[in-house]
């Protein structure tokens, strides 16, 4: 059954190429032949590889106080929202002025994945990004790279390296690419520039090589022929531990697409703990066995204007027993692909449109019987002072999606901390700075200790509470 579908997809590709590019075929027979071979290579590479990876939180184990953690989370979420917002607005892949006020040097990344590229394998450590597609790492000889702790990837050391031509389907899938010349980047190489709206940009050459993924214990997956960018002009806000970005979006170049997995999932351990989080591509369905609640399932929606993002259909929000008076259209995509709600690995705090945030804020102020504390250091975050020994009653927070209810445990939306000997509990949600576009981003703070499954084959997202340190 699966094989049949695969063969079908494969011939459809070729038919499409013939049907839609007749003049191209006449003009450049050789080029088309090579392009067909490249397309075949994608279609026939090991389908449905099962891959398990560990995720590292960038801020984990670095001695930050809880106040610092909250502040860094808030800063990153704001910066990320600004980045994604302008990407969404521009259809992705275009640079707009930096909106990132990165005053305390917090890197953008929330989670890093580590795997290896080439034969023999060279380690890379990349920012996990469900909002973009290209996977890239810094390469020798680096013309303009940011500092990284690991050595730059050296193409000369890999025996399995290939260079897809500029007319290959992988190269054509890039938003901005060109053909290298003999005097420049090498004849017919695929020279790309991939930019993120916060001014992070990578320029380099597309390559194909074997990736080695190592899970916990002795699990290892070796997958040949995956396309990735060898970045040689790279800039942006990166941590010393990062060597680039791993694209887990919905486009053809993303890792899930290239690995041809029917689904992927992650389970994010509590952010204050030291347990590793897990990321699984094409895993067996029985992982849900660890869940305590019922599995909730909601459709994944596609936005042609921002095809990489995983949009959801959010319908409403309840605080305590109050269903907030928010018109459903507030969370929906507009006809021209603006606004909407998507789920993101790289945003920490869920970001709400300003008006919605105000309603949630006011509902908490009305229902929590504690003094509101204006902590200037928290850039206006809603915090309550908690008297010594008190066990405050915090209202429930529920997100209603089409067909699914996200009934958050308290530790997934309140953040407790000490400041000058007093205790506070703060709401871990924030408002986007956007003008008119009411974008909502479901962040990873709200996804702690949940198993979240992206069912790509059926365009659905499922989640269930789980103890992620036990997965
Ligand atoms: C880099 O990662 C290691 C563990 O993987 C950690 O101990 C170290 O603090 C990290 N350094 C930075 C600058 O993030
Ligand atoms: C993390 O926070 C939760 C809720 O605030 C708490 O129950 C748990 O004990 C904390 N874990 C650690 C390791 O601090
Ligand atoms: C995920 O995909 C794999 C095949 O790649 C399949 O065996 C598994 O049942 C799927 N899991 C779920 C939860 O659908
Ligand atoms: C907190 O302080 C800011 C500026 O200092 C002010 O604009 C805001 O209204 C204050 N919020 C509360 C709830 O007191």
Shortest-distance Cα residue to atom 11 of ligand 3: 285
56 CA to middle of ligand 2, Å?
A: 18
Two structure tokens written together for 38 = 């490249």
Q: Which residues line ligand 2 at a C-beta cut-off of 6 Å?
A: 270, 272-273, 411, 416
Catalytic: 344?
Answer: yes
Catalytic residue among 108, 129, 133, 239: 129
**Of 417, 351, 346, 429, nearest to 69 (Cα)?**
417
Quick check: CB of 241 below 6 Å from ligand 1? Answer: yes
Vertex 381: Cα angle to 376 and 386 (nearest 5): 90
Q: What is the pLDDT of residues 103-119, one digit of tens each?
A: 445 556 788 999 999 99
156 CA to middle of ligand 4, Å?
A: 58
Give the Cα separation of 441 and 220 in Å (integer): 33
**Of 346, 342, 321, nearest to 331 (Cα)?**
342
Chain position carrying tokens 């962040």: 443
Task: Starting from the CA of residue 242, give the closest ligand.
Answer: 1
73 CA to middle of ligand 1, Å?
A: 17
Give the Cα separation of 349 and 412 in Å (integer): 10
Shortest-distance Cα residue to atom 13 of ligand 2: 273
Catalytic residue among 59, 209, 344, 430: 344
430 CA to middle of ligand 4, Å?
A: 15
Q: What is the pTM of this model?
A: 0.83
* Burial class of residue 3 in the structure, from the number of CB atoms within 10 Å of its CB (0-12 exposed, 13-18 middle, 19+ buried): exposed
* Burial class of residue 45 in the structure, from the number of CB atoms within 10 Å of its CB (0-12 exposed, 13-18 middle, 19+ buried): middle
Contacts of 71 (CB under 8 A, 6+ apart): 104, 377, 378, 379
Q: Which residues line ligand 4 at a C-beta cut-off of 6 Å?
A: 372, 374
DSSP 218: T
Per-residue pLDDT at 434 = 60
**Of 284, 269, 311, nearest to 451 (Cα)?**
269
DSSP 153: B
Two structure tokens written together for 466 = 């789980």
Give the Cα separation of 220 and 52 in Å (integer): 8
- Ligand 4 atom with the smallest distance to the CA of 382 is 13
Quick check: CB of 59 below 6 Å from ligand 1? Answer: no
Contact 232, 206 (CB under 8 A): no
**Of 249, 208, 213, 259, nearest to 48 (Cα)?**
259
161 CA to middle of ligand 4, Å?
A: 57
Task: Starting from the CA of residue 56, give the closest ligand.
Answer: 1
**Of 134, 141, 79, 99, nearest to 244 (Cα)?**
134
Determine the residue of 62, 125, 127 to mutate for testing ligand 1's pocket, defined as the one with the most ligand atoms within 8 A of the Cβ atom: 62
Asked if the bond preceding 120 is cis, omega within 30° of 0, the reply is yes
- Ligand 3 atom with the smallest distance to the CA of 282 is 5
**Of 95, 83, 52, 40, nearest to 284 (Cα)?**
52
Contacts of 154 (CB under 8 A, 6+ apart): 122, 139, 140
- Ligand 4 atom with the smallest distance to the CA of 374 is 1
49 CA to middle of ligand 3, Å?
A: 11
Vertex 230: Cα angle to 227 and 235 (nearest 5): 130
Shortest-distance Cα residue to atom 9 of ligand 1: 62
Sites in the chain below the pLDDT cut of 50? 1-46, 88-104
Determine the residue of 53, 54, 61 to mutate for testing ligand 1's pocket, defined as the one with the most ligand atoms within 8 A of the Cβ atom: 61
Give the Cα separation of 374 and 7 in Å (integer): 61
Shortest-distance Cα residue to atom 7 of ligand 2: 411
Contact 255, 247 (CB under 8 A): yes
Determine the residue of 262, 287, 296 to mutate for testing ligand 3's pocket, defined as the one with the most ligand atoms within 8 A of the Cβ atom: 262
106 CA to middle of ligand 4, Å?
A: 25
Give the Cα separation of 149 and 157 in Å (integer): 19
Give the Cα separation of 137 and 303 in Å (integer): 28
Task: Starting from the CA of residue 105, give the closest ligand.
Answer: 1
Per-residue pLDDT at 217 = 60
Shortest-distance Cα residue to atom 7 of ligand 3: 284
- In three-state secondary structure terms, 329 is helix
The distance in angstroms from the start CA to the end CA of the chain is 30
Shortest-distance Cα residue to atom 13 of ligand 3: 285
Q: Which residues line ligand 3 at a C-beta cut-off of 6 Å?
A: 48, 261-263, 282-285, 453, 455
> Could you give the residue ranges of the DSSP H alpha helices within 21-149?
22-27, 29-44, 66-90
Contact 276, 268 (CB under 8 A): no
Chain position carrying tokens 């902590």: 375
Give the Cα separation of 77 and 404 in Å (integer): 25
Catalytic: 198?
Answer: no
Segment (H or E) for 95: none
Shortest-distance Cα residue to atom 6 of ligand 3: 284
* Other beta carbons within 10 Å of 457: 11
Give the Cα separation of 134 and 176 in Å (integer): 12
Give the Cα separation of 81 and 194 in Å (integer): 19
């Amino acid at each position: 059954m699966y094989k049949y579908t695969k063969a079908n997809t494969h011939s459809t590709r070729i038919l499409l190429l013939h049907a839609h590019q007749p003049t191209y075929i006449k003009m450049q027979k050789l080029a088309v032949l090579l392009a067909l071979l490249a397309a075949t290579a994608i279609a026939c590479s090991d389908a449905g590889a099962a891959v398990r990876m560990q995720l590292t939180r960038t801020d984990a184990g670095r001695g930050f106080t809880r106040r610092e953690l909250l502040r860094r989370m808030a800063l990153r979420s704001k910066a990320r929202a600004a980045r994604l917002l302008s990407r969404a607005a521009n259809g992705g892949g275009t640079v707009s002025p930096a909106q990132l006020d990165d005053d305390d040097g917090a890197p953008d990344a929330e989670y890093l994945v580590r795997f290896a590229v080439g034969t023999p394998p060279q380690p890379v450590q990349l920012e996990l990004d469900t909002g973009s597609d290209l996977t890239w790492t810094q390469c020798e000889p680096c013309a303009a790279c940011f500092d990284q702790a690991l050595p730059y990837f050296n193409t000369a050391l890999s025996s399995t390296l290939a260079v897809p031509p500029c007319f290959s389907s992988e190269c054509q899938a890039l938003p901005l690419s060109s053909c290298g010349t003999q005097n420049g980047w090498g004849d017919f190489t695929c020279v790309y520039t991939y930019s993120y709206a916060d001014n992070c940009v990578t320029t380099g050459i597309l390559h194909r090589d074997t990736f080695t993924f190592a899970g916990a214990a002795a699990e290892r997956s070796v997958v040949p022929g995956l396309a990735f960018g060898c970045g040689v002009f790279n800039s942006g806000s990166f941590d010393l531990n990062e060597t680039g970005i791993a694209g887990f979006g919905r486009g053809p170049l993303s890792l899930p697409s290239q690995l041809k997995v029917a689904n992927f999932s992650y389970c994010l351990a509590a952010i204050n703990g030291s347990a590793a989080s897990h990321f699984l591509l094409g895993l067996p369905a029985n992982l849900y066995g660890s869940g305590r609640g019922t599995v909730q399932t909601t459709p994944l929606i596609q936005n042609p204007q921002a095809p990489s993002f995983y949009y959801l259909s959010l319908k409403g929000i309840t605080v305590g027993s109050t269903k907030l008076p928010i018109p459903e259209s507030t969370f929906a995509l507009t006809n021209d692909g603006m606004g909407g709600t998507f789920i993101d690995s790289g945003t920490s705090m869920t970001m709400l449109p300003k008006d919605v945030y105000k309603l949630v804020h006011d509902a908490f102020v009305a229902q929590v019987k504690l003094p509101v504390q204006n902590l200037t250091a928290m850039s206006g975050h809603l915090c309550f002072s908690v008297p010594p020994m008190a066990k405050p009653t915090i209202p429930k927070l529920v997100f209603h999606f089409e067909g699914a209810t996200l009934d958050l445990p308290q530790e997934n939306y309140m953040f407790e901390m000490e400041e000058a000997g007093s205790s506070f509990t703060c709401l871990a949600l924030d408002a986007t700075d956007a003008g008119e576009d009411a974008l909502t981003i479901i962040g990873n703070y709200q996804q702690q200790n949940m198993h979240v499954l992206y069912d790509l084959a059926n365009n659905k997202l499922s989640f269930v509470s789980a103890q992620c340190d036990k997965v």
